[in-house]
């Protein structure tokens, strides 16, 4: 592949969204290759849009990006479309991306070119504490990113800019991966729609500020970010995974989600035990299986005039939730069922219930709403608090239908 005027041997990463380049001598940006007996001593990860030319199998993927075609078995997401010119070069565009942008600005138009389709691979960067939470039942919510846009970020230092719980980058970075069912589950955090998040003061939030341009705060990269619709939980799709990245860029799949069994199963071997040393003290590192408790947010499908719990395996497979293969019948329709309620004049989603109390999350947090509810920031952009069930108004479950 051709990068910055030089040809390098390379392999594809993340289904063609990035390349792993190799070199025999030290070069800027290259790290030692950790593979035992590797032919090339150094490597570097670059995004596919940084590649000027590619030969072999990767050339087909590069052509898809260049032409906008979507003809692969698992098509690539579309890259950002940027009208760079003498009046707006790359440096100027990056500066504008780090400022609030109105809906009709040039930056907002560029941001709208990054879209989600059914089957888009999404990622959320986690701290060790959050990893433990997801193993015990947390669901994807809040800020997230297309894997396509961050596939070249492979080290904890690079992924650390996307941490949302206020923690500092560590020696190991953890990532949750899942596939989007439908674009309606996501929105862009622009200042006109999320002015409340933009205006929340530092003392009341965790993680970096919400800029309002739709791009993540970053000194070097241009990373489009998304939030889940109404900041609500999304059910896990089949084959979601939890992975770790080491300082040399090595990726290790730690756990895979088994939708029929509603649990995480361990994938890592004893050679990777050191990656989990900094997890919670009570974390059972040798546990093979973590059952996921039922949650108010779930997939439901219609089958023969009845509604049942369902499993989503986008982009094309939606079936009844059943442990036996014979009962995994395709559903006639699929929807995300989410609980909503009003508390103290604020529309909230219901996260979970315990006794006479309900854990609620405001859909549009702002300084005034956060103060009125007494909500606490649990991660970037996401606030939660406990509310008495008796004080909730118009509590209901809403089905967000997906087109099949």
Same domain, 380 and 261: no
| Whether 235 contacts 298, CB under 8 Å | yes
Residue 15's pLDDT is what? Answer: 87
Among 336, 355, 390, identify where a domain stops. Answer: 336
pLDDT at 278 over 90: no
Q: Are residues 148 and 170 in the same domain?
A: yes
Same domain for 326 and 371, yes or no, is: no
Query: How much is the pLDDT for 323?
Result: 86
Task: Looking at the structure, tell me whether residues 266 and 184 fall in a common domain.
Answer: yes
| pLDDT beyond 70 at 313 | yes
**pTM, to two decimals:** 0.91
Whether 329 is covered by a domain: the verdict is yes
| Together in a domain, 226 and 258 | yes
Q: How far is CA 62 from CA 6, 12, 17, 53, in A?
A: 17, 11, 9, 8
Q: What is the mean pLDDT of residues 30-41?
A: 92
Residue 67 has pLDDT above 70, yes or no: no
pLDDT tens-digit map of 96-151: 888 886 555 778 888 889 999 999 999 999 999 999 999 999 999 999 999 999 99
Mean pLDDT of the chain, nearest integer: 90
For residue 283, is it within any domain? yes
Distance (Å, whole) CA 59 – CA 329: 39
Q: Has residue 202 been placed in a domain? A: yes
Which pLDDT band, with edges at 50, 70 and 90, does 57 fall under? low
277 and 131 housed in the same domain: yes
| Mean pLDDT, residues 356-366 taken together | 97
| Residues 237 and 136 grouped into a single domain | yes
| Among 235, 262, 291, residue at a domain's last position | 291
Per the domain annotation, does 392 fall within a domain? yes
What is the count of structural domains for the chain? 4
pLDDT of residue 291: 95
Instruction: Give residue 27's domain range.
Output: 2-67
Mean pLDDT of 338-364: 96
pLDDT tens-digit map of 12-24: 999 889 999 999 9
Whether the ω angle into residue 315 lies within 30 degrees of 0, i.e. cis, is yes
pLDDT (average), residues 287-311: 94
Residue 273 and residue 205 in one domain: yes
């Amino acid at each position: 592949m051709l990068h910055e005027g030089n040809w390098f041997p390379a392999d594809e990463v993340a289904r063609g969204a990035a390349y792993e380049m190799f070199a025999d001598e030290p070069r800027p940006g290259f790290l030692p290759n950790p593979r035992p007996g590797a032919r090339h001593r150094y490597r570097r990860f670059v995004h596919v849009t940084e590649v000027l030319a590619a030969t072999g199998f990767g050339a087909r993927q590069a052509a898809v990006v260049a032409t906008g075609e979507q003809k692969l078995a698992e098509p690539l997401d579309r890259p950002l479309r940027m009208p760079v010119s003498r009046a707006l070069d790359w440096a100027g565009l990056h500066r504008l991306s780090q400022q609030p942008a109105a809906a009709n600005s040039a930056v907002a138009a560029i941001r709208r070119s990054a879209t989600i389709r059914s089957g888009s691979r999404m990622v959320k960067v986690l701290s060790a504490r959050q990893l433990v939470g997801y193993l015990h039942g947390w669901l994807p919510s809040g800020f997230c990113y297309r894997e396509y846009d961050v596939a070249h970020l492979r080290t904890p230092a690079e992924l650390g800019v996307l941490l949302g719980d206020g923690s500092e980058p560590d020696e190991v970075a953890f990532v949750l991966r899942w596939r989007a069912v439908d674009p309606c589950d996501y929105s862009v955090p622009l200042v006109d729609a999320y002015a409340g998040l933009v205006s929340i003061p530092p003392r009341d939030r965790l993680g970096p500020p919400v800029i309002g341009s739709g791009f993540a705060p970053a000194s070097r990269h241009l990373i489009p970010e998304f939030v889940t619709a109404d900041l609500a939980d999304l059910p896990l799709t089949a084959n979601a995974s939890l992975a770790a990245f080491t300082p040399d860029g090595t990726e290790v799949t730690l756990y895979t989600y088994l939708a029929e069994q509603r649990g995480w199963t361990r994938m890592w071997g004893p050679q990777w035990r050191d990656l989990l040393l900094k997890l919670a003290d009570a974390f059972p590192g040798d546990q093979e299986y973590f059952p996921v408790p039922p949650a108010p947010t779930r997939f439901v499908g219609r089958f023969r005039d009845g509604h049942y719990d369902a499993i989503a395996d986008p982009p094309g497979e939606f079936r009844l939730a059943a442990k036996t293969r014979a009962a995994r019948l395709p559903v006639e329709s699929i929807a995300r069922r989410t609980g909503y309620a009003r508390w103290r004049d604020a529309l909230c989603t219901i996260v979970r219930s315990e006794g006479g109390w309900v854990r609620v999350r405001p859909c549009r947090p702002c300084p005034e709403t956060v103060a009125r509810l007494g909500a606490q920031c649990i991660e970037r952009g996401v606030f939660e608090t406990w509310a008495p069930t008796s004080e909730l108004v118009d509590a209901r479950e809403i089905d967000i239908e997906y087109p099949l």
